[in-house]
Amino acid sequence: MGFFSHRSRRRPDRSKFAVDGTISLWLLSLLCLTASFKCQAAEEQVSEHQVKAAFLLNFTKFVEWPEAAFGDGHSPISICVLGEDPFGSALDQIVEGEVVEGRRVVVRRIKEPPLAKQCQVLFVSPVIKDVSQILTSLGPGVLTVGEGSDNFLREGGVISFVIENRHVRFDINQGAAETEGLKLSSRLLRVARSVEK
């Protein structure tokens, strides 16, 4: 059974997704602790983008950023969406009121590649072209997240969402994370579908 189970007798809606059942219980606990994410959501299917939004927030809890990634000790952790935003209000609702390691978590939607220290997490929309050029232009300490295939990781992205058997999973390029000065928790690495060194 998937991480989110569907108890209705209706036929499953193919537009709904679940996190793979092999994901550890710790992730469920984190999702339930998220201020705006209701625990009853774990008992019914949620949309693909709600699951991805929850992952984006929870990635921040398992990454250690270099000090150079922030303007100062009071700067927030900014989750930026570059290009077309697939999340709608889901990401705002999940992030609302969240604090990680003493820093507020905020959402920013941007049309151009960010300036240094503007974003700590950067979700790159699949419609964005010249991804490799964008990734190499970023300042230090940016956790880059994309989706769809190995291409994003090959171009230097750190995390790529994939859909496998209607479950949202993710792959990690650990070498890219180290290049960015990011330390990924071993717990995050363990629940990834694959990890490239």
Quickly state the pLDDT bin for 103 (edges 50, 70, 90): very high
Q: What CATH number has the domain bearing residue 60?
A: 3.40.50
pTM recorded for the entire structure: 0.79
Confidence (pLDDT) at 129 = 83
Whole-angstrom distance between the N-terminal and C-terminal Cα of the chain? 30
Q: Does some domain include residue 75?
A: yes
What's the rounded mean pLDDT across residues 58-84?
A: 95
Confidence (pLDDT) at 197 = 85
Quickly state the pLDDT bin for 52 (edges 50, 70, 90): very high
At 189, which helix (H) or strand (E)?
helix 186-191
Structural domains in the chain (count): 1
Q: Is the pLDDT of residue 67 over 80?
A: yes
Q: Does some domain include residue 102?
A: yes
Q: Does some domain include residue 25?
A: no
* Cα 169 from Cα 40, distance rounded (Å): 21
Residues 6+ apart with CB under 8 A from 62: 184, 185, 187, 188
Q: Does some domain include residue 56?
A: yes
Helices 48-59 and 25-33, axial angle in degrees (round to 10): 90
* Cα 35 from Cα 97, distance rounded (Å): 7
Q: Among 41-55, 89-103, 138-152, 154-168, which is the least confidently predicted range?
A: 41-55
Q: Does some domain include residue 140?
A: yes
Q: Does some domain include residue 171?
A: yes
Q: Does some domain include residue 17?
A: no
Q: Let me know: does 174 contact 196? Beta carbons within 8 Å.
A: yes
Owning domain of residue 156: 49-196
Q: Does some domain include residue 40?
A: no
